Amino acid sequence: MATFLLNDFFSMGKIEIVKCSEMIFYIVAIATLFVEVVMCRIFTLLIVSVLFSAVSCFGETFTVDDDGPADFSTINDAINYAWHGDTVEVQPGTYNESVYYNGLAIKITSSDPTNPEIVATTIINVGQGIDAVVFDFLEDNDSVLTGFTVTGKRGIYCNNTSPTIIGNVIKNCVDGGIIGCGGPIEGNQILNNGNANLGYGGGLYDCDGPIQNNVISGNIVQRNGGGLCRCDGPIQDNIISGNITFYNGISYGGAGLYDCDGLIQNNIISGNIAGNVGVGGGSGGGLCLCRGTIQNNTIVGNRANRGGGIYDCYAYVKNNIIAFNKAADANGGGVYNCSQTSYNVFWENDGGNFGGSSYGKEGDFFRNPLFAVDGYWDEKGTPEDITDDVWHDGDYHLKSGAGRWDGDAWVLDDQTSRCIDMGDLDSDVLYEPGPNGDRINLGAYGGTSLASKSLLGVGNPEVHCVSYPRSDANEDCKVDLLDLTILAAEWMMCNLEPVSACAD
Q: Over the stretch 440-466, which tens digit does the pLDDT of each residue have?
A: 999 999 999 999 999 985 544 445 555
- Give the model's pLDDT for residue 173: 95
The pLDDT-based confidence of 416 (bands split at 50, 70, 90) is: very high
The pLDDT tens digits of the residues spanning 138-161 come to 999 999 999 999 999 999 999 999
Are 193 and 219 in contact, with CB atoms under 8 Å apart? yes
Greatest Cα pair distance, the chain, in angstroms, is: 112
Task: Give CA–CA dist 357/310, Å, rounded.
Answer: 13
Higher pLDDT, 336 or 34: 336
- Give the model's pLDDT for residue 41: 39
| Amino acid identity, position 82 | A
The pLDDT tens digits of the residues spanning 284-343 come to 999 999 999 999 999 999 999 889 999 999 889 999 999 999 998 878 899 999 878 999
Average confidence (pLDDT) over 410-416: 95
pLDDT of 18 higher than 70: no
pLDDT of 424 higher than 60: yes
Looking only at the bridges linking them, the beta strands covering 220-221 and 107-110 are unpaired
| Peptide bond connecting 116 to the previous residue in cis, omega within 30 degrees of 0 | no
- Give the model's pLDDT for residue 150: 97
pLDDT of 181 higher than 80: yes
- Give the model's pLDDT for residue 24: 44
| CB-facing half-sphere around the CA of 491: CA atoms within 13 A | 6
CA dist 81 → 75, 104, 105, 133, 307 (Å)? 10, 11, 13, 18, 53
> Is the overall model pTM greater than 0.85, yes or no?
no
- Give the model's pLDDT for residue 463: 54
Burial class (CB in 10 A: 0-12, 13-18, 19+), 166: buried
* All structural domains of the chain with their residue ranges: 2-56, 59-191
- Give the model's pLDDT for residue 497: 66
Q: Considering only 44-53, 336-345, 477-486, which range has the smallest mean pLDDT?
A: 44-53
By three-state DSSP, how is residue 104 classified? coil
Task: Give CA–CA dist 369/399, Å, rounded.
Answer: 8
CB crowding 86-105: b at 16 or more within 10 Å, else e:
bbbbbbbbebebbbbbbebb
pLDDT above 70: percentage of residues in the chain:
82
- Give the model's pLDDT for residue 11: 37
- Give the model's pLDDT for residue 248: 61
The pLDDT tens digits of the residues spanning 107-140 come to 999 999 999 999 999 999 997 789 999 999 999 9
| Peptide bond connecting 498 to the previous residue in cis, omega within 30 degrees of 0 | yes
Are 393 and 271 in contact, with CB atoms under 8 Å apart? yes
Summary mean pLDDT of the chain: 85
- Give the model's pLDDT for residue 280: 60
Looking only at the bridges linking them, the beta strands covering 228-229 and 99-100 are unpaired
